[in-house]
Amino acid sequence: MASELIINVTFNEKRIAFLENGVLVEFFIEKKDNNSMVGSIYKGKVVRIVPGMDAAFIDIGLEKSAFLYVGDIILDRLMYEEYEDSGFPVEMGERIEGVLEDGQELIVQVSREPIGQKGTRVTSKITLPGRLLVLMPATDHIGVSRRIEQEDERKRLAALLKEICPKGYGLIARTASEGKTRDEIESDLNFLRRIWESIQEKAKNVKAPSILHQDLGIIFRVIRDLHSHNLKKIIVDDPFVYKNIEVFIKEYLPEEGCEVEYFDEKDPIFEVFGIEMEITKLLQKKIWLKSGGYIVLDYTEALTVIDVNTGRYLGKKDLEDTILRTNLEAVKEIAYQIRLRNIGGIIIVDFIDMERKESRETVFQALVDVLKKDRIKTFVYPISEIGLVQITRKRTRHNVTNLLTETCPNCDGSGYIKSRYTVCYEVLRELRSACKKEEGRIFNIYLAPEVASLLYEEEKSSIELIENTYNTKINLIANPGFSIDKFQVEGVH
């Protein structure tokens, strides 16, 4: 399946669209003020131990301290010489007490950006991704990418990694290592070792908090991570970035045969490739299915909920057949939207209830199969009796919706605003209260046109009753600039 990257650079904003057979499947965006920190390595200092959470807060030089869970701690030989007699690597057990202490320095890597109210998360289990390998200092793990499916190749790579892996390191063969020779793989290993050694050397000579290593910028990081997905062409609309990508491809991916093209047309690049319209759809909560059914996506800080509905789809056979077909169609769309929107964490899918056990098993297996194509680690738990499926997907960066939106000032992020009827009666209550306090005074009411119209027409008798009861005069003044839930009661002489 041929794929390509379309890159749009607008001053301090970079947008990257990953297309497979012309279809947008992943979207990345980075602005000047929200550059990704994931993968960057710091020399940090422990500022607070929290025994009740089995965690510590680490100062890495950001406005807020980063969070380090005890399960993510491996003590590094060069930074903790007092542990040498116990042997290394030293991987932590279950409790934080006695493992770290206030003021202690350690090397950590950002594993998750701050998302919502959750701060930056770090780990001392360092991973350095290269073109073919991932190097893991201070571990002894050997692994092969799950995307390499041929058993003979998996065994060959695992055996090779065990042979070449230096003592005190772990290695993972990335998807791009499939079919690569020993020399090519060893070359990548040596490159990664030099990076780690330079990081360790820098750590000896700087005070915490300090940054030791910054991962590639978003454009080169995406190219590095996606080049093994049959990436054949990169098209970019910025001449400076175009030249840098050419150099990067020649040095980093010389044998991959990936073409780099400079886009120099008058029309915007994302409009020419039909991407702009697809990005607009990312903000929609309701996604229609071809059959007439639909799914609805709702986001909370803790999880994402996806609801499946039959909508206009009536089917051609019995009800169970209609439900099964809708659920199966929804499965493909859900997997697509999860990947495209980069939805992470806990995802709950509410499929339409199915009576037959075999129908539930069919839908579950279809979901498992389609999510195997996702390059982000994803787990699916069996469908429940009431049609709920729990999915967990590794979350390292914001989902696209968060990057493209901000909290609504009118609804405070709830996704809802008060109805004009609700506001209408709020106005009447506040007006009546004001009239009781200052009987005989004239009042001007500034409000949205929709609410003003409701008061003029359906609630005209209520306004007249207040005027007669409190010997007052009420002026309704429609302000087109007011949102429905905004109004102002002002007493005048």
- Tell whether the model's pLDDT for residue 492 goes beyond 60: yes
Strand ranges of the sheet holding 487-492, from the earlier edge strand across to the other edge: 474-478, 442-447, 487-492
What is the pLDDT at residue 52? 85
Most confident of 15-19, 309-313, 432-436: 15-19
What is the pLDDT at residue 34? 64
Contacts of 448 (CB under 8 A, 6+ apart): 420, 423, 478, 479, 480, 482, 483, 484, 485, 486, 487
Q: How far is CA 390 from CA 142, 247, 371, in A?
A: 29, 44, 13
Calculate mean pLDDT across residues 251-278: 88
Residues of the chain with CATH 3.30.1370.50: 283-404
Reported confidence tier of residue 90, pLDDT bands at 50, 70, 90: very low
Reported confidence tier of residue 92, pLDDT bands at 50, 70, 90: very low
Nearest to 95 by CA among 151, 55, 123: 55
Calculate mean pLDDT across residues 293-315: 85
- Report the C-alpha gap between 125 and 144 in whole angstroms: 18
What is the pLDDT at residue 224? 87
What is the pLDDT at residue 193? 93
Residue 99 tokens, joined: 């493992």
Reported confidence tier of residue 78, pLDDT bands at 50, 70, 90: very low
What is the pLDDT at residue 84? 34
Contact between 260 and 242 under an 8 Å Cβ cutoff? The reply is: yes
Q: pLDDT tens, 378-408?
A: 999 998 878 899 999 988 777 888 888 877 7
Q: Could you tell me the end-to-end alpha-carbon distance of the chain, in angstroms, rounded to an integer?
A: 75
What is the pLDDT at residue 1? 64
Calculate mean pLDDT across residues 5-16: 92
- Tell whether the model's pLDDT for residue 81 goes beyond 70: no
Pairing status of strand 133-137 against strand 142-144: unpaired
- Tell whether the model's pLDDT for residue 80 goes beyond 50: no
Q: Which of 90-104, 417-431, 464-478 has the lowest mean pLDDT?
A: 90-104
> What is the H or E stretch that residue 25 is in?
strand 23-30
Q: pLDDT tens, 292-301?
A: 899 999 988 7
Residues of the chain with CATH 3.30.420.140: 3-36+215-277
Q: Which amino acid is at 323?
A: I
What is the pLDDT at residue 75? 60
What is the pLDDT at residue 313? 59
Contact between 135 and 171 under an 8 Å Cβ cutoff? The reply is: yes
Residues of the chain with CATH 3.40.1260.20: 420-492
Pick the CATH number of 283-404 from 3.30.1370.50, 3.40.50.2300, 3.40.50.10860, 3.40.50.720: 3.30.1370.50
Reported confidence tier of residue 116, pLDDT bands at 50, 70, 90: low
- Report the C-alpha gap between 320 and 322 in whole angstroms: 5
- Tell whether the model's pLDDT for residue 410 goes beyond 80: no
Considering only the top CATH level, what class is 420-492? Answer: alpha beta
The domain made up of 3-36+215-277 has a fold known as Nucleotidyltransferase; domain 5 (3.30.420)
Query: What proportion of the chain, given as a percentage, has pLDDT over 70?
Result: 93
Nearest to 402 by CA among 481, 297, 482: 297
**Cα dihedral across residues 78, 80, 82, 85: positive or negative:** negative
Calculate mean pLDDT across residues 450-479: 93
Q: pLDDT tens, 142-179?
A: 999 988 889 999 999 999 999 999 998 999 999 889 99
> How many CB atoms are closer than 10 A to CB 261?
13
Residue 402 tokens, joined: 């968060």
- Report the C-alpha gap between 435 and 455 in whole angstroms: 17
- Tell whether the model's pLDDT for residue 314 goes beyond 70: no
Calculate mean pLDDT across residues 50-58: 89
> How many CB atoms are closer than 10 A to CB 369?
12
Q: What is the pTM of this model?
A: 0.77
Residue 310 tokens, joined: 């039959």
Q: pLDDT tens, 190-219?
A: 999 999 999 999 999 999 999 999 888 889
What is the pLDDT at residue 51? 87
What is the pLDDT at residue 98? 75
What is the pLDDT at residue 275? 94
Calculate mean pLDDT across residues 306-333: 83
Q: pLDDT tens, 222-238?
A: 998 888 788 889 999 99
Calculate mean pLDDT across residues 6-30: 92
Residue 135 tokens, joined: 């190097």
What is the pLDDT at residue 89? 43
**Cα dihedral across residues 455, 461, 464, 466: positive or negative:** negative
Specify the residue for token string 């409701």.
Answer: 454
**Cα dihedral across residues 35, 173, 126, 113: positive or negative:** positive
- Report the C-alpha gap between 275 and 29 in whole angstroms: 13
What is the pLDDT at residue 405? 81
* DSSP codes, 378-404: EEEPPP-TTSEEEEEE---S--HHHHH
